[in-house]
Amino acid sequence: MIENLKKLKVGKVVSNPKMSDYTTYKVGGNALAIVYPTDVNNLVELLKYLKKNNIKHKILGNGSNLIFSDELYDGVLIKLEEFNKLDIEDTIVTVGAGYNLVKLSMKTARLGLSGLEFAAGIPGTVGGAVFMNAGAYKSDMGYIVSEVKVLTPDYQIITLYNKDLDFHYRTSFLQKHPDYICLEAKLVLKQGDTEAIMEVIAERKQRRLLTQPLEYPSAGSVFRNPENDFAGRLIEELGYKGKNIGGAYVSEKHANFIINKNNATATDVRSLIKEIKEKVKEKYNIDLIVEQEFVD
């Protein structure tokens, strides 16, 4: 299969990658391959080959929300890193799905464009952020995405507008329809003052350093906040700060973060998430929703 992928000449092929090198938790077994298609035509050719040969596949961004298992992922991962075109015209930003979100946030901030300040600490790609409706500080992608170019399951390129994308807290149309692949997003920002925008980003960075365990591998908040409450508060009240399974620990700084403190396995991380979910349900009758995705 690897030879066939290389023969397709659709882009770089990495065989037998360790998923711990491609995820922010730094855990997981190997996959069969990662392919980096160079453009939409090559992406379509790759998808047709994978579907024809019934090969499991998944789009992989920066791996900041995925927990692979310790077993082999017997499929092909597709990274859209080459989809990184950026065009800024006045306050309209047209950007490829593979563009780094933090980099985009800093670039627009320096140009005096406001609206992406919330994203300065989110280590994902634009495509992944649209898919997840990533957000922070009471803002998210749903506030700034006007339209998205997607590849449909039958290989058509269509435009979905904000209203079609069904953005809600940490979810979107794309999350419910993973066969639609985000290729490019158009964002509408506002003119602002560069100094003021950079100040907001710096202040929030400082706050994150003080309140989040950024020195350890993690994937950010593990659970969505239930309505009118905070997942971190519930977990802390259970006495779970510092609790560990193997090398995976509930952070002492922020109870809604699980950190890879001591060579954790994917099983350690997953087991700790499942245990917390069960305990919160048992004690508070609240079903915490896991923000991160388990990939098998």
Consecutive H or E run containing 68: strand 66-68
Pick the closest to residue 220 from 74, 108, 47, 102 (CA basis).
Answer: 102
Q: Write down the catalytic residue from 81, 117, 147, 291.
A: 291
Report, as an integer, the average pLDDT of 92-120: 97
Catalytic residue flag (residue 278): no
Tens digits of residue pLDDT in 51-103: 999 999 999 999 999 999 999 999 999 999 999 999 999 999 999 999 999 99
pLDDT of residue 190: 98
pLDDT of residue 202: 97
Q: Could you give the angle at the alpha carbon of 21 between the alpha carbons of 81 and 18, nearest 5°?
A: 105
Domains delineated in the chain: 2-79 (3.30.43.10), 86-196 (3.30.465.10), 214-295 (3.90.78.10)
pLDDT of residue 224: 94
C-beta separation of 246 from 203 below 8 A = no
> How far from 149 is each of 67, 75, 100, 186, 263, CA to CA, in Å?
27, 26, 17, 8, 39
Catalytic residue flag (residue 147): no
- 100's CB contacts (< 8 A; 6+ apart) are 62, 125, 126
Q: Write down the catalytic residue from 170, 204, 208, 224.
A: 170
pLDDT of residue 18: 98
The pLDDT-based confidence of 26 (bands split at 50, 70, 90) is very high
Report, as an integer, the average pLDDT of 135-152: 96
Catalytic residue flag (residue 221): yes
What residue has token string 């396995």? 265
Report, as an integer, the average pLDDT of 196-217: 96
Average pLDDT, the chain: 97
pTM (two decimals): 0.93
